[in-house]
Amino acid sequence: MELDHRSPWELLVATILSAQCTDQRVNQVTPSLFRRYRQPAELAAAHLPDLEQLIRSTGFFKNKAKHLVACSKAVAERFSGQVPHTMEELITLPGVGRKTANVVLGNAFGQPSIVVDTHVKRVAKRLGLTRSDNPALVEQDLQQLLPKSQWTAVSQRLLLHGRYICLARKPQCRTCPVYQHCPWKEKGPQ
């Protein structure tokens, strides 16, 4: 987990901000964000232009700001300021889909979860672990292949492998630790 956080609430906010943004950039933004808005109720009452300015560098800041305010309001009002700890409840929050919910469940609450982002999807396909491009189906395929106790750790490893080694355009096959097990027909020489 590369997103800095001290609580389920901070991880939820950071994960929402991480859409189409690097974790490094999110980690630069969140300290000042959490100094200003310490609790869900405070962020729920944020003045949108002020919030937008704080998160501007994460990209898509207008939409993210709206989601953060609406999500914070839902957490404050419907869940008494506590981040819910079930998939069913998390995905009712504005700006939260299965990917974000799985990040929070696995990394904040220690519940087995498989996060499927573009990196996990790409690596899983290249390694022959799935044939699907649909994140929900990739998640299901990985759930069937892996012991439940390994879901969070393995999906995090796939994510990091895709982020740093098995890149979309220029995979680093020469340094790949699973090269000999990779059935991908387009892999480069080692």
Same domain, 67 and 100: yes
The predicted-structure confidence for 2-58, as pLDDT tens digits, reads as follows 888 999 999 999 999 998 888 899 999 999 999 999 999 999 999 999 999 999 999
Domain assignment present for 155: yes
Same domain, 62 and 143: no
Domain assignment present for 30: yes
The predicted-structure confidence for 137-148, as pLDDT tens digits, reads as follows 999 999 999 999
pLDDT of residue 111: 95
Annotated catalytic residue 117: yes
Domain harbouring 90, CATH code: 1.10.340.30
Same domain, 47 and 134: no
Same domain, 143 and 100: no
Which domain does 104 fall in, by range?
Answer: 8-108
Three-state SS across 123-148? HHHHCCCCCCCCHHHHHHHHHHHCCH
Residues of the chain above pLDDT 90, percent: 88
Q: Pick the catalytic residue: 99, 125, 148, 170?
A: 99
Q: Pick the catalytic residue: 64, 117, 121, 141?
A: 117
Q: Which of 75, 108, 141 is the last residue of a domain?
A: 108
Whether the per-residue pLDDT at 190 is higher than 90: the answer is: no
Same domain, 80 and 15: yes
For residue 57, the 8-state DSSP code is: G
Same domain, 57 and 92: yes
Q: How far apart are CA 50 and CA 16, in angstroms?
A: 18
Domain assignment present for 160: yes
Same domain, 72 and 130: no
Same domain, 41 and 126: no
Q: Which of 84, 108, 132 is the last residue of a domain?
A: 108
Number of compact structural domains in the chain: 2
pTM greater than 0.85: yes
Annotated catalytic residue 187: no
pLDDT of residue 8: 96
Whether 12 contacts 4, CB under 8 Å = no
pLDDT of residue 100: 94
The predicted-structure confidence for 61-111, as pLDDT tens digits, reads as follows 899 999 999 999 999 999 999 999 999 999 999 999 999 999 999 999 999
pLDDT of residue 41: 94
Task: Write out the two tokens for 29.
Answer: 């933004």
pLDDT of residue 21: 83
